[in-house]
Amino acid sequence: MAETTLRNGRARSSSRLEQGLVVLGILALLAAPFFVYPILLMKMLCFALFACAFNLLLGYTGLLSFGHATFFGGAAYFCAHAVKVWGWPPEAGILLGVVGAAGLGLVMGFFAIRRQGIYFAMITLALAQMFYFFCVQAPFTHGEDGIQGVPRGFLFSLLDLNQPLNIYYFVLAVFLAGVFAIWRIVNSPFGMILRSIRENENRAVSLGYSVANYKLAAFVMSAALSGLAGAVKAIVFQFATLTDVTWQMSGEVILMTLLGGIGTMVGPIVGAGLVVGLENALATSGFPVMIATGVIFMACVLLFRRGIVGEIQARWNARRESRSGNKAHG
């Protein structure tokens, strides 16, 4: 009885701590554009949302996709084309990007979930490469030039997105909504089933769940949210290029998630911030980003597979366990 109360008390205090941290984080993001270059911040937010969406699949369903650039870059193309060529308002363009990415996710997921583990990774990589070749040849993407000069326009015909603060808070709102959606998905009964698939697929099958459908649903959701990040990025930077559909981009989002912590809520955000910040710093130094990311990749896998946030959480939990253990004995 005492044991249960203790545990409940602990759970409450830790969740209060977490809530406090989340509020602090949001406040910091609200204040950030007054201290840091907003374009860099918006890039970080777009990639953070992308990494969180990727983590929904890798961290909570246990599926490693090597093709997520398709959804990120594909949505950027759809959105940029709709806004620039068809003159759609930004919110409609973003919506098209999300729907398009979900459609691509449905197709890629349909093929990829037929195999597991490393084959799943290789299939997604191959299909993403196919989409890359499509983007190279399709006329609407304008090949190497990409779609440039995409107008930011007025959000809901009201808010002028050309104002730096307006677009920053718009991006922040999208980011928070996206992360909240992921948090809701992960902590719903649906999310629990996804986790059970990650932990033991065969057992999930034997419990009567149609694992394939759940995997496909998770894949499409992850793709749609990646698309949201990509479409918003196209509005922010006013262009969509081939860079966003390359396999390097798929690798980058894996790195962000791995570095921050696979299967943690905050990890991908931290990882994305660090990777984008590092790239930004390296861009002026002349040191090739590719070598840096490659080395970080290897170091992560060898030294701290739980990622930065994952390691902190694990140490924190271990410390608390040992403390409460002492208390119980004393």
Partner 1 sequence: MTTIFGIPIQAFLGQLLLGLINGSFYAMLSLGLAVIFGMLRIINFAHGAQYMLGAFVGYLLLVNLGIGYWPALILVPLAVGLFGMMVERLGLSRLYGIDPLYGLLFTFGLAQAVEGIFRYYYGVSGNPYSVPPLLAGGTNLGFMFLPNYRGWVVVASLIVCLGTWLLIEKTRLGSYLRAATENPRLVQAFGVNVPLLLTLTYGLGSALAGLAGILAAPIYQVSPLMGSDIIIVVFAVVVVGGLGSILGAIVTGYMLGLAEGLTKVFYPEASNIVIFVIMAIVLLLRPAGLFGRDA
Q: Which residues bind partner 1 (CB under 8 A)?
A: 64, 111, 114-119, 121-123, 125-127, 129-130, 133-134, 137, 247-248, 251, 254-255, 258, 288-298, 300-302, 305
Q: Which tokens hold the place of 118?
A: 């490393």
Tokens 């406040």 sit on residue: 27
Q: How far is the CB of 121 from partner 1 (least distance, A)?
A: 6
Choose between 121 and 236: whose C-beta lies nearer to partner 1. Answer: 121
Q: Pairing between strand 154-155 and 159-160?
A: antiparallel
Choose between 284 and 326: whose C-beta lies nearer to partner 1. Answer: 284
Q: How far is the CB of 19 from partner 1 (least distance, A)?
A: 32
Choose between 128 and 234: whose C-beta lies nearer to partner 1. Answer: 128
User: Measuring CA to CA, how many Å separate 294 from each of 68, 282, 299?
Assistant: 18, 14, 9
Q: How far is the CB of 199 from partner 1 (least distance, A)?
A: 12
User: Measuring CA to CA, how many Å separate 120 from each of 129, 168, 221, 248, 294?
Assistant: 14, 36, 17, 18, 22
Q: Half-sphere exposure of 111 toward its Cβ, with a 13 Å CA cutoff?
A: 15
Residues whose CB falls within 8 Å of the CB of residue 242, separated by 6 or more in sequence, listed in order: 73, 132, 135, 136, 141, 143, 144, 146
Choose between 125 and 309: whose C-beta lies nearer to partner 1. Answer: 125
Q: How far is the CB of 238 from partner 1 (least distance, A)?
A: 27
52 neighbors 179 (Cβ within 8 angstroms): yes
Choose between 171 and 259: whose C-beta lies nearer to partner 1. Answer: 259
Q: How far is the CB of 234 from partner 1 (least distance, A)?
A: 25
